[in-house]
């Protein structure tokens, strides 16, 4: 687990996801060498899939510990890596929203 994030305040999930998705797309388009995101987008797919597994496990453990801040932290890691997987595989955030919307009918 990484260091806990300080000064976390409630936010707007839709706006946050839009900004994060744009940032990930920018890293995909411009591929800065120093960017962790660009490395995930261009590197070995197995490494990215292992990160999804690792972050999922860490979230599960945080939930088992009933630790609010740790759950929030690990959930954010998982969502970030999930968005990178979606970008890498060509599934847009709009595609994901459409899938979720269709399930609510």
pTM above 0.75, yes or no: yes
Asked if pLDDT for residue 95 goes beyond 70, the answer is yes
Q: Let me know the angle formed at the C-alpha of 28 by 98 and 16, rounded to the nearest 5 degrees.
A: 50
CATH number at residue 51: 1.10.287.1080
Q: Is residue 2 part of a domain?
A: no
- pLDDT (tens digit per residue) in 40-90: 999 999 999 999 999 999 999 999 999 999 999 999 999 999 999 999 999
- The C-alpha angle 95, 101, 105, rounded to 5 degrees, equals 145
Q: Do the domain assignments include residue 55?
A: yes
Inter-CA distances, 16 with 1, 20, 24, 48, 95, Å? 22, 6, 12, 22, 17
Average pLDDT, the chain: 91
Give the residue, 12 or 45, on which the prediction is more confident: 45
């Amino acid at each position: 687990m990484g260091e806990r994030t300080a000064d976390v305040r409630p936010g707007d999930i839709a706006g946050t996801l839009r900004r994060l998705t744009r940032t990930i797309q920018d890293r995909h388009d411009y591929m800065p060498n120093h960017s962790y995101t660009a490395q995930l987008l261009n590197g070995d797919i197995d490494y990215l899939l292992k990160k999804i597994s690792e972050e999922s496990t860490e979230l599960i453990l945080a939930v088992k510990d009933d630790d609010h801040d740790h759950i929030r932290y690990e959930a954010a890691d998982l969502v970030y890596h999930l968005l990178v997987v979606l970008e890498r595989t060509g599934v847009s955030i709009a595609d994901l929203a459409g899938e979720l919307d269709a399930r609510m009918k």
